[in-house]
Chains A and B, each alone.
Chain A
Amino acid sequence: MSAAIGNTIVSLPDQSTAQIPKRNYINNEHGLLSWLLTGDHKRIAILYLISITFFFFIGGAFAGLIRLELLTPQPDLVAADTYNKFFTMHGIIMVFLFLVPSVPATLGNFLIPIMLGAKDLAFPKINLLSWYLYLVGGGLTLGALVLGGVDTGWTFTTPLSTHYLNTHVITAATAIFIAGFSSIFTGLNFIVTIHRMRCPGMTWFRMPLFVWSHYAASLLMVLGTPVLAITLVLVALERLFGIGVFDPAKGGDPLLFQHLFWFYSHPAVYIMILPGMGVISEVISTFSRKRVFGYTAVAFSSVAIALFGFFVWEHHMFIMGVSNYSALVFSLLTMLVAVPSAIKIFNWAFTLQKGSITFETPMLYAFGFMGLFTIGGLTGVFLGSLGMDIHLTETYFIVAHFHFVMVGGMLMAFLAGVHFWWPKMTGRMYPESLSKLAAVTTFIGFNLTFLPQFILGYLGMPRRYHAYPPEFQVLNVLSTAGATVLGVGYMLPMLYLAWSLKYGAIAGNNPWQATGLEWQIQSPPLTENFIEIPIMDHEAYDYEWLENKTKNEVTTVG
Chain B
Amino acid sequence: MGLSPVLWQFLVHWLHASALFPAEASGIAPYVDALYFFLVAMTIFGTTFVAILLLVFSVRYRREKNPVATQIEGSTLLEATWTIIPLAIFLVTFVWGALLYFRIYDPPTNAMNIYIVGKQWMWKAEHPGGQHEINALHVPTGKPIQLTMISQDVFHSFSIPDFRIKREVIPGRYSTVWFEATQVGTYHLFCTQYCGTQHSGMIGEVTVMTPGDYKKWLEQSNSGQSLAQNGERLFASMGCNSCHNGTAAARGPSLAGVYGSKLTLTDGRQILVDDAYLRNAILNPSEHVTAGFAPIMPTYQGQISEDGLIDLVEFIKNMQSNYRVQQTLVTATSGEAAPTTPSEGTTETVKP
Binding site for B on A (CB under 8 A): 5-9, 75, 80-81, 84, 151, 153, 155, 157, 159-160, 163-165, 248-249, 251, 254-255, 288-291, 293-297, 318-321, 324, 327-328, 331-332, 335-336, 338-339, 342-343, 345-347, 349-350, 352-359, 367, 370-371, 374-375, 378-379, 381-382, 384-391, 393-395, 455, 458-460, 462-469, 471, 474, 543-544
B120 and A385 within 8 A (CB): no
B66 and A356 within 8 A (CB): yes
**Given the contacts A248-B172, A321-B170, A543 and B62 also touching, CB distance less than 8 Å:** no
Question: Is B214 an interface position by the 8 A CB rule?
Answer: no
For residue B228, give the distance in angstroms from its CB to the closest CB of chain A: 25
A249 and B94 within 8 A (CB): no
Q: Which residues of A contact B67 (CB under 8 A)?
A: 5, 356
User: Which one of A163, A289, A327, A468 has the greatest number of beta carbons of chain B within 10 Å?
Assistant: A289
Question: Is B153 an interface position by the 8 A CB rule?
Answer: yes
A265-B228 Cα distance, complex, nearest whole Å: 44
A458 and B36 within 8 A (CB): yes
17 further A-B contacts with Cβ under 8 Å, apart from A151-B197, A390-B105, are: A80-B198, A80-B201, A163-B154, A164-B153, A254-B171, A288-B69, A289-B68, A332-B94, A338-B90, A374-B47, A374-B50, A381-B93, A388-B32, A390-B100, A390-B166, A465-B200, A466-B199
Question: Is B250 an interface position by the 8 A CB rule?
Answer: no
A75-B167 Cα distance, complex, nearest whole Å: 26
A391-B198 Cα distance, complex, nearest whole Å: 22
Contact with A along B47-90 (1 / 0, CB 8 A): 10011011001100111101111111111001100110011001
Q: Which among A164, A332, A387 is the interface contact of B99 at CB below 8 angstroms?
A: A387
Question: Is B217 an interface position by the 8 A CB rule?
Answer: no
Contact with A along B120-135 (1 / 0, CB 8 A): 1000000000000000
Question: Is B164 an interface position by the 8 A CB rule?
Answer: yes
Q: Which among A84, A163, A350, A393 is the interface contact of B166 at CB below 8 angstroms?
A: A393
A5-B67 Cα distance, complex, nearest whole Å: 7
B:149-174 near A, CB below 8 Å: 153-155, 157, 159, 161-162, 164-168, 170-173
**Given the contacts A319-B157, A352-B54, A459-B161, A295 and B63 also touching, CB distance less than 8 Å:** no
For residue A64, give the distance in angstroms from its CB to the closest CB of chain B: 19
**Given the contacts A378-B43, A386-B100, A458-B21, A349 and B50 also touching, CB distance less than 8 Å:** yes
A34-B19 Cα distance, complex, nearest whole Å: 60
Q: Which among B47, B68, B194, B203 is the interface contact of A157 at CB below 8 angstroms?
A: B194
Q: Which among A7, A343, A469 is the interface contact of B62 at CB below 8 angstroms?
A: A7
A8-B19 Cα distance, complex, nearest whole Å: 46
Q: Which residues of A contact B164 (CB under 8 A)?
A: 390-391
A393-B104 Cα distance, complex, nearest whole Å: 15
A295-B73 Cα distance, complex, nearest whole Å: 8
B39 and A387 within 8 A (CB): no
A5 and B36 within 8 A (CB): no
B:16-52 near A, CB below 8 Å: 19-22, 31-32, 35-36, 39, 42-43, 46-47, 50-51
B75 and A467 within 8 A (CB): no
Q: Which residues of B contact A394 (CB under 8 A)?
A: 157, 159, 166, 192-193
Q: Which residue of B lies closest to A346 (CB)?
A: B82
Question: Is B91 an interface position by the 8 A CB rule?
Answer: yes
Q: What are 8 A-B residue pairs whose CB atoms fall within 8 Å in the complex?
A: A290-B69, A319-B168, A349-B50, A387-B98, A460-B190, A463-B194, A467-B200, A469-B188
**Given the contacts A320-B170, A359-B58, A386-B98, A160 and B86 also touching, CB distance less than 8 Å:** no
A379 and B43 within 8 A (CB): yes
A386-B103 Cα distance, complex, nearest whole Å: 11
Question: Is B240 an interface position by the 8 A CB rule?
Answer: no
Q: Which residue of A lies closest to B167 (CB)?
A: A319
User: Which one of A291, A319, A455, A463 has the greatest number of beta carbons of chain B within 10 Å?
Assistant: A319
For residue B287, give the distance in angstroms from its CB to the closest CB of chain A: 9
Q: Which residues of A contact B198 (CB under 8 A)?
A: 80
For residue B191, give the distance in angstroms from its CB to the closest CB of chain A: 7
User: Which one of B166, B190, B191 has the greatest number of beta carbons of chain A within 10 Å?
Assistant: B166
B154 and A160 within 8 A (CB): yes
Q: Which residues of A contact B93 (CB under 8 A)?
A: 335, 381, 384-385
Question: Is B211 an interface position by the 8 A CB rule?
Answer: no
Q: Which among A7, A356, A370, A474 is the interface contact of B61 at CB below 8 angstroms?
A: A356
A321 and B101 within 8 A (CB): no
A339 and B87 within 8 A (CB): yes
**Given the contacts A328-B98, A367-B54, A385-B35, A294 and B69 also touching, CB distance less than 8 Å:** no
Q: Which residue of B lies closest to A289 (CB)?
A: B69
Q: Which residue of A lies closest to B203 (CB)?
A: A469
A387 and B103 within 8 A (CB): yes
Q: Which residues of A contact B188 (CB under 8 A)?
A: 460, 469
B103 and A356 within 8 A (CB): no
Q: Which residues of A contact B21 (CB under 8 A)?
A: 458-459
A378 and B194 within 8 A (CB): no
**Given the contacts A80-B201, A321-B175, A385-B96, A339 and B22 also touching, CB distance less than 8 Å:** no
For residue A513, give the distance in angstroms from its CB to the closest CB of chain B: 11
Q: Which residues of A contact B199 (CB under 8 A)?
A: 80, 84, 464-466
A331-B94 Cα distance, complex, nearest whole Å: 7
**Given the contacts A385-B93, A388-B39, A388-B100, A462 and B190 also touching, CB distance less than 8 Å:** yes
Q: Which residues of A contact B153 (CB under 8 A)?
A: 159, 163-164
Q: Which residues of A contact B159 (CB under 8 A)?
A: 394-395, 460, 462
A288-B167 Cα distance, complex, nearest whole Å: 49
Question: Is B196 an interface position by the 8 A CB rule?
Answer: yes
Question: Is B302 an interface position by the 8 A CB rule?
Answer: yes
Question: Is B301 an interface position by the 8 A CB rule?
Answer: yes
A84-B172 Cα distance, complex, nearest whole Å: 25
Q: Which residue of A lies closest to B193 (CB)?
A: A394
Q: Which residues of A contact B10 (CB under 8 A)?
A: none
**Given the contacts A80-B200, A356-B61, A387 and B97 also touching, CB distance less than 8 Å:** yes
**Given the contacts A385-B94, A387-B104, A462 and B63 also touching, CB distance less than 8 Å:** no
A288 and B61 within 8 A (CB): yes
A349 and B53 within 8 A (CB): yes
For residue B116, give the distance in angstroms from its CB to the closest CB of chain A: 14
Q: Which residue of B lies closest to A292 (CB)?
A: B74
Q: Which residues of A contact B54 (CB under 8 A)?
A: 349, 352, 367, 370-371
Question: Is B195 an interface position by the 8 A CB rule?
Answer: yes
A387 and B200 within 8 A (CB): no
Q: Which residues of A contact B104 (CB under 8 A)?
A: 387, 390
For residue B248, give the distance in angstroms from its CB to the closest CB of chain A: 35
B166 and A385 within 8 A (CB): no
**Given the contacts A159-B154, A354-B66, A471 and B19 also touching, CB distance less than 8 Å:** yes
For residue A57, give the distance in angstroms from its CB to the closest CB of chain B: 25
For residue A144, give the distance in angstroms from its CB to the closest CB of chain B: 17
B168 and A321 within 8 A (CB): yes
A248-B63 Cα distance, complex, nearest whole Å: 65
A463-B166 Cα distance, complex, nearest whole Å: 14
Q: Which among A160, A390, A467, A543 is the interface contact of B165 at CB below 8 angstroms?
A: A390
A294 and B79 within 8 A (CB): yes
Q: Which residues of B contact A163 (CB under 8 A)?
A: 153-154
Q: Which residues of A contact B196 (CB under 8 A)?
A: 84, 151, 160, 164-165
Q: Which residue of A lies closest to B195 (CB)?
A: A160
Q: Which among A153, A319, A375, A459 is the interface contact of B194 at CB below 8 angstroms?
A: A153
B70 and A388 within 8 A (CB): no
B61 and A355 within 8 A (CB): yes
A10-B50 Cα distance, complex, nearest whole Å: 27
A459 and B72 within 8 A (CB): no
Q: Which residues of B contact A381 (CB under 8 A)?
A: 39, 42, 90, 93
A70-B281 Cα distance, complex, nearest whole Å: 46
Q: Which residue of A lies closest to B155 (CB)?
A: A157
A387-B165 Cα distance, complex, nearest whole Å: 9
Q: Which residues of B contact A356 (CB under 8 A)?
A: 61-63, 66-69
Q: Which residue of A lies closest to B171 (CB)?
A: A248
**Given the contacts A335-B93, A342-B86, A297 and B79 also touching, CB distance less than 8 Å:** yes
Q: Which among A321, A354, A379, A395 is the interface contact of B192 at CB below 8 angstroms?
A: A395
